[in-house]
Amino acid sequence: MTDVTGASVDVLHTLFRSDQGGHEQVVLCQDRASGLKAVIAIHSTALGPALGGTRFHPYATEAAAVADALNLARGMSYKNALAGLEHGGGKAVIIGDPETLKSEELLLAYGRFVESLGGRYVTACDVGTYVADMDVVARETRWATGRSPENGGAGDSSVLTAYGVFQGMRASAHHLWGSPSLSGRLVGVAGVGKVGHHLVNHLIQDGAEVVVTDVREESVRRIQAKYPQVTAVADTAALIRIEGLDIYAPCALGGALGDDTVPVLTAKVVCGAANNQLAHPGVEKDLSDRSILYAPDYVVNAGGVIQVADELHGFDFDRCKAKAARIYDTTLEIFARANEEGVPPAVAADRIAEQRMAEARRP
């Protein structure tokens, strides 16, 4: 037996001191037969069982995996609180390269660990895990969502994610221009993959002018085949500089808003699906200082988590769509609170989420 090392003491330090409120529980899971090493982090169950996906990623160190699980779990508490779900926040990470390590045996072992938590943590897909994987995990636990329709799940969540982003955009337009209609507005969508292309459908139907960019030419071609009026530019750098751009919708990767982009952004509104759009703390203030209205990413892209939460009760698309439609009111509430308190919308959103969790904790 070896002694506890400095590195593991650091992990404990991260757990108990990482942020306001700290985390409730972190579980380290190991199954030697399949090579599974996973971290399940539960940030809060104040509003209900912790809900959040499983990320499968080749972390450089185990401490980095724990830190990521802690951060992601905390983010889910805020997202679920603002989505009006009766769920707290949690997230799991599986350490390793999904291309080489993922196996049925490993996913089943992981499912048994999720089941052992008795419903305190409900899992779903995230980067590196897919609907087919959740079908396997669900063979060992009742607490896996994001399954295929053949297995009682709701399948792809991008339809409702795009619908929620569209509602966030309508709320932004209402706040800034006095009408939720996007008719005649010029909207730039960066990334027209699963969510982006559904978003373009909504925008065209509402009468917006749309310009897109994507690193995959095929994705752009698919959009233009359907809507020849959609224009395209070479890259995101060109998109964010378009004169007269009303709304910028980052729908590709995280970190879209940073020191290189905010100063040159021509849009008056940023509202998109990508997770973690703010490259670092302080960018929300830089946006406010330039009078750019930022609809917080984790608020407007909650359609996906609304869908997986609904799956636990037997998925009903119309019920889910009605819940995703409330993103419109939540976004307006955040902008109003931001104005009242003189803070950027991202700060107002965090405050509303914290308030909901604190109220739920009260006896």
**In the set 92, 187, 252, 299, which binds ligand NAD (CB under 6 A)?**
252
Which of these ranges, 112-120, 168-176, 189-197, 350-358, lies near ligand NAD under the rule CB under 6 A?
Answer: 189-197
**4 is known to lie in a ligand binding site:** no
Which of these ranges, 26-34, 61-69, 213-221, 315-323, lies near ligand NAD under the rule CB under 6 A?
Answer: 213-221
Q: Residue 48 and residue 34: Cα distance in Å, rounded? A: 31
Q: Which is nearer to ligand NAD, 33 or 234 (CB)?
A: 234
76 near ligand NAD, judged by CB under 6 A: no
Residue of 91, 102, 268, 323 marked active site:
91
321 near ligand NAD, judged by CB under 6 A: no
304 near ligand NAD, judged by CB under 6 A: yes
238 near ligand NAD, judged by CB under 6 A: no
- How many residues touch ligand NAD under the rule CB under 6 A: the total is 24
301 near ligand NAD, judged by CB under 6 A: yes
212 near ligand NAD, judged by CB under 6 A: no
90 near ligand NAD, judged by CB under 6 A: no
130-169: which residues touch ligand NAD (CB under 6 A)? Answer: 157-158, 161
Q: Which is nearer to ligand NAD, 45 or 301 (CB)?
A: 301
237 near ligand NAD, judged by CB under 6 A: no
**48 is known to lie in a ligand binding site:** no
Q: Is 91 a catalytic residue?
A: yes
96 near ligand NAD, judged by CB under 6 A: no
Task: For residue 14, count CB atoms less than 10 angstroms from its CB and return exposed for 0-12, middle for 13-18, buried for 19 or more.
Answer: middle
Q: By CB under 6 A, name the binding residues for ligand NAD.
A: 157-158, 161, 190-196, 213-216, 219, 236, 251-253, 273-275, 301, 304
